[in-house]
Chain A
């Protein structure tokens, strides 16, 4: 078996646990630590059963042996409020931080669009934008790489059961961070994001609508081709990323209707919004790991 890069997951909730299940299959990443704050957390117990070291004392509980344990990559699946502190601590000990919270202190990373760029810049903290961002920014980029996009707007509809307390308490973070990602990574001059939570039972799959307003008349053939190519790229790590309808062309409007079904590793399949985050986070870590294993990147204390 080839050498893998050791990783720690901070936050043993649904996202952290789903990430763990995915990471266990990875050819490049070996999860060795699960970090929580609640001793009786079922996520910590599960990680322990899977052979990981665990602590309920937060990041501080891992730090004393983190370097000894060879951790070079950390995932933060906690909340925006504690992320900066977590990141500072693990960066100091030379581990790259992959941020799955909306804190966005590091550069945004959407694997199919700018992962290579982020990795080659050797950033010690990268942010995964938001679930809606991961699901839609590739489509905005698919249009903007063909021609200039004046305005990109996305509507993400998620099932009530897949919207956790963190998202609910701070829903403005979602709209702001996603809108910013549409501009910075998606390449739209102006971005807007809308999130809708639907409580229907059985829970609906994540739906995403992407509207782009192009500066000039859209080149329908080139845009359609670009969209299909981008979807194939995203499907490499999220097989359930599906074009439902479109692109619809109406004047300078280009509308794309997507559905995202998760893999159903730990999270239910309808929670494609969460799955695409964990899959994108892992994909990012793997790309860093390849660089580390090839000796092209040595994460060092920030």
Chain B
């Protein structure tokens, strides 16, 4: 694989996707400290939101340590070079949240929908595109669930609504490098040349790096990852490793590798409640194609109802659940406990 001379924009997920393993309890101070260190290391774009995006504070997904407004306000004003992004899932957050985040100083808004449902993002992308300097991104989740042609149709819809960048998102960490290559290559060929293309991976099958490289080779120029991999499931593409690989392959990231390593080791790892890694449950997410943030919910329900979290996750995959259906997990666990004859 020859990627020499390619340029990619790296986007760190610790302070948004990393909220999942932290049960949304990262404090404002921790966010500011981490974001400043990332800025210092040259990471150009940092996502800061509740794990489930703006407006995610809920019984269903968990109440965070602080509001999106508090996190965003505190982080945005401390950034020297880095820009800050926020995520929004229509159906959870609304355009009111979008306006609030813009007022807090974000430069990028990412509107996320399930891969077949891009049309629910029209309201939000259209509004975002009206802001002059707002980087407007469409983000198609669980992209492994449909074939490349259908995925591209959905990406183009987001492009038409006003996205200047669209993402192929492997929310379940299910994709193999070939899946990434075929989807990214077709998207690159079919989208407008000026539209940026991104890839967001999860490391559930330990393919975060390989898949991100495949994405870059096929034409993606934005790559999501998180330092030390802090993210849902087995985490996101471990960013400091990806930076090291990019350095070796001659891909320009603009990030200082050693500084990035230090942030990962000195700030992110100590923050982890449990080591974020590929283990039996997170591997099951990738293997069964399950939304990564279901992990802790399945573990908790398994414990509460005396079930196997792996069984719960496999069943969630079989039922083709999509992102946001966290409420399904306790319901399913109750069904499984009933079927087993207990409780």
**Could you tell me which A residues sit within 8 Å of B by CB distance?**
151, 153, 155, 157, 160, 163, 165, 168-172, 174-176, 192, 194-200, 207, 209, 211, 213, 244-246, 248, 253, 255, 257
B60-A153 in contact (CB<8A): yes
Shortest CB–CB separation between residue A188 and chain B, in angstroms? Answer: 12
Given A209-B331, A245-B331, A257-B331 in contact, is the A170-B60 Cβ separation under 8 Å?
Answer: no
Contact of B331 among A168, A169, A213, A244 (CB under 8 A): A244
B334, CB-defined interface residue at 8 Å: yes
A196 contact from B59, B322, B331, Cβ within 8 A: B322
User: Judging by beta carbons under 8 Å apart, are B320 and A198 in contact?
Assistant: yes
Q: A168-B122, A209-B327 are in contact. Are A245 and B335 (CB under 8 A)?
A: yes
Inter-subunit contact A176/B60 (CB<8 Å):
no
- In the complex, A291 Cα to B286 Cα: how many Å? 59
Known: A157-B328, A169-B122. A199 touches B116 (CB 8 A): yes
Given contacts A244-B331, A245-B334, contact A157 B122 (CB under 8 A): no
Point out the residues of chain B lying under 8 angstroms from A174, CB to CB: 91
B330 within 8 A of A: yes
Q: Which residues of A contact B96 (CB under 8 A)?
A: 172
A168: which of B94, B119, B319, B322 is its contact (CB, 8 Å)? Answer: B119
The A-B contact count (CB < 8 A) is 94
Contacts of B124 in A (CB 8 A): 172
Distance A200 CA – B325 CA, assembled complex (angstroms): 13
| Closest B residue by C-beta to A153 | B59
**In the bound complex, what is the Cα–Cα distance between A195 and B322 (angstroms)?**
12
Task: Please judge, given known A-B contacts A153-B59, A175-B91, A209-B60, whether A169 and B325 are in contact too, CB under 8 Å.
Answer: no
Provide the residues of chain A in CB contact with B92, threshold 8 Å.
175, 194
Q: A175-B94, A192-B58 are in contact. Are A255 and B321 (CB under 8 A)?
A: no
Q: Which of A213, A245, A253 has the most CB of B within 10 A?
A: A245
Instruction: Annotate B318-343 by CB proximity to A: 1 below 8 A, 0 otherwise.
Output: 01111111011011001100000000
> Is B117 in contact with chain A by the CB < 8 A criterion?
yes
Given contacts A255-B59, A257-B327, A257-B331, 9 further A-B contacts (CB under 8 A): A151-B59, A175-B92, A194-B58, A195-B91, A196-B325, A197-B322, A199-B117, A200-B322, A248-B334
Contact of B117 among A160, A172, A244, A246 (CB under 8 A): A160
A171 touching B120 by the CB < 8 A rule?
Answer: yes
Partner of B91, one of A151, A153, A197, A244: A197
Partner of A198, one of B119, B120, B325: B325
**Count of interface residues, chain B, beta-carbon cutoff 8 Å:** 30
A194/B117 in contact, CB under 8 A: no
Which chain A positions have C-beta within 8 A of B59? 151, 153, 211, 213, 253, 255
Compute how far the CA of A171 lies from the CA of B335 in the bound complex, rounded to whole angstroms. 31
Contact indicator A255/B330 (Cβ below 8 Å): yes
| A-B contact list, 14 entries, CB within 8 Å | A153-B58, A153-B60, A168-B119, A170-B123, A171-B91, A172-B96, A172-B123, A175-B91, A192-B58, A197-B120, A209-B331, A257-B330, A257-B331, A257-B334
The interface residues of chain A lying within 8 Å CB-to-CB of B37 are: none
Q: Is B90 an interface residue when CB atoms closer than 8 A count as contact?
A: yes
Bound CA–CA A151/B59 (angstroms): 9
Contacts A160-B116, A194-B91, A257-B327 given; indicate if A200 touches B319 (C-beta within 8 A).
Answer: yes
Task: For residue B267, give the distance in angstroms from its CB to the closest CB of chain A.
Answer: 32
Q: Which 9 pairs show the lowest CB-CB distances between chains A and B? A: A209-B327, A211-B59, A200-B320, A245-B334, A172-B94, A257-B331, A195-B91, A199-B116, A155-B327
A257 to B321 CA separation, bound complex (whole angstroms): 16
Q: Which residues of A contact B320 (CB under 8 A)?
A: 198, 200
Cβ of B31 within 8 Å of any chain A Cβ, yes or no, is no
B114 lies within 8 A of chain A by Cβ: yes
Does B95 count as interface, using CB distance less than 8 angstroms? yes
B293-339: which residues lie under 8 A (CB-CB) from chain A? Answer: 319-325, 327-328, 330-331, 334-335
